[in-house]
Amino acid sequence: MDSSIKVSFSWSGVRYKVEQTQPIDISIPIRDPRLGEGPAAWYVGRPRFEVVEGDGFVGSVARGGAVNFTNVYFNPHGHGTHTECLGHITKEAESINRIQLPLLIPCLLHTISPANIQGDSVITIEHLPGGGFTDEKLPKALIIRTLPNESDKTSKDWANTNPTYLHSDFTDKLVERGVEHLIVDLPSVDKEIDGGTLLSHRAFFRVPEAPRTEATITEFVFIPNEVEDGLYALNLQLAPFDLDASPSRPVIYPLSVI
């Protein structure tokens, strides 16, 4: 990008310049387990990367082939950073691929130390930015970083660990305060085993009463501890999958007041 081109936007009456040369990639890639494990969840094991072979062809330059040519077997929800739409919980085949995202979205990074409620790690309405009893509008995107924030979030298998989840009151209030794009460093916004109720997904997408077709939830991100809480510009990049969810790459940019 030509550094002479200045990108800016306003939020709450303040004009900000986007620091284009300081991108912070908070995605976790889908990795070949033989080269270093990425995260996994939902009992699907690890992704598989298999070199294509047959009729004298080998899809590996290291093994004498002309090109690298690999089949990849993975689950968008179970491996790496992904973004989903309301099609994740609807009978209709709603596709993430039809959502047109702005180039930059104002977003707030907010760190939370979850509550322990009857042995569960839960994000409650009291954890909302500014507390649970204000109607002050939030930016269209909210990124949640949970504590403790250890680097094993990028590689552990979360199956059968009962990870932190969002109470539906918290999620419902996010919608009321204007959040359209929710990003979390968890395998899901809902409890791992909840009997299929998916209360936070339903609260955020407003399914079935008032479906929010342009809203998204992004899961399995990782935000390093040195990245400070506050306002950023979000560039949410989606792979063109005609599916309820797609591997994604959220990148945030620091801002400075003009």
Render each residue's pLDDT in the chain as its tens digit; 258 residues: 445 457 777 777 889 999 999 999 999 999 999 888 899 999 999 999 999 999 999 999 999 999 999 999 999 999 999 999 999 999 999 999 999 999 999 999 999 999 999 999 999 999 999 988 899 999 999 999 999 999 999 999 999 999 999 999 999 999 999 999 999 999 999 999 999 999 999 999 999 999 999 999 999 999 999 999 999 999 999 999 999 999 999 999 999 998
Say how far apart CA 247 and CA 25 lie, in whole Å.
Answer: 14
Helix (H) or strand (E) segment spanning residue 176: helix 168-176
Q: Domains in the chain, please, with CATH? A: 8-27+81-257 (3.50.30.50), 33-73 (no CATH)
DSSP state string for 108-141: EEEEE--EEETTEEEE-GGGSTT-TT------SE
Dihedral Cα 121, 221, 87, 40, nearest 10 deg? -80
